[in-house]
Amino acid sequence: MILGVHVSSAGKIYQSLDAAKALGCDTMQIFSRSPQTWRNGSYLKPEDIEEFKARRREFKIDPVFIHISYLINLASPDPRLYNASIRAYIEDIREADALGADYIVTHMGSHKDTSEDAGIKRLISALNKILDETKGAKAGILLENTSGSGSWLGYRFYHQHKILKGIEDKTRVGLCLDTAHAYLAGYDLSSRKGLEQMLDEIEEMAGLRMVRLIHLNDAAGELGCHHDRHDHIGKGHIGLAGMKRIITHPKLKGIPMILETPKSTRDSDKENLALVRRLGSK
């Protein structure tokens, strides 16, 4: 099992690796910058990048995922936001590549009440431009499924199917499967039948081989409510049995799993990680 958590990158970015090591993580996810602000000329210092790479080698944290800023919207109909999002994404890919990160994880954007097809078309165009502008970079892009709140894309896997079909160079593109988002979008992962139906749909729409990361989260909301709220492992509506089926499913074996569960106390990450390890060993 390749297991980790989303850890804070506050302070020096290389200190996030210390936090991951202290938790016994094999892998980790971070924000490389504040998820709620634009860069405004703020970039990582070369010496911090080198220290990050040195500590990663020492602690054997692999792979490393970076979650994209929440401000970026590659499906936006607003030309100003759309173009700013593309520029910021290119900058983030280049910085992720400098850090030696393996993938950037991104939500697929909001079409802002235009239409899903129009939003998907804008997203495909943006991704093709980003991939072309960052040719030679090793850092890939993972498209994360969403809970489907508002006008967000990605709550059904035919969205990913359409997007992947439109991407010209797919060599650096894959999928991130968020278990809470899937449940909140209407996939009943609390049952064996629901899990198998979702996996069959992913296989048909994109291929399970495209899933490079699992965001392993329980769901705080009701099935299909579309409200993006995560819960502790086994404490939400997917439940302990449902989470165990996901963790131990043979089709998901070997895919890195990152917890984005609530940090209710200082020990929350430690407790959730320990529970996942126990469930995975039974």
Q: What is the pLDDT of residues 116-173, one digit of tens each?
A: 999 999 999 999 999 999 999 999 999 999 999 989 999 999 999 999 999 999 999 9
As beta bridge partners, residue 29 has 6, 65
Q: What is the pLDDT of residues 105-123, one digit of tens each?
A: 999 999 998 999 999 999 9
Which structural domains are found in the chain, ordered by start?
A: 3-281 (3.20.20.150)
pLDDT computed for residue 33 by the predictor: 75
Cα–Cα distance for residue pair 66/276, rounded to 1 Å: 22
pLDDT computed for residue 38 by the predictor: 74
Question: Would you tell me how many other CB atoms lie within 10 Å of the CB of residue 256?
Answer: 24
Handedness of CA 266, 60, 105, 72 (dihedral sign): positive
pLDDT computed for residue 205 by the predictor: 97
Cα–Cα distance for residue pair 218/260, rounded to 1 Å: 9
pLDDT at 41 over 70: no
- Alpha carbon distances (Å) from 151 to 46, 110, 117, 124, 128: 39, 5, 12, 17, 22
Query: pLDDT band for position 11 (50/70/90)?
Result: confident
pLDDT at 35 over 90: no
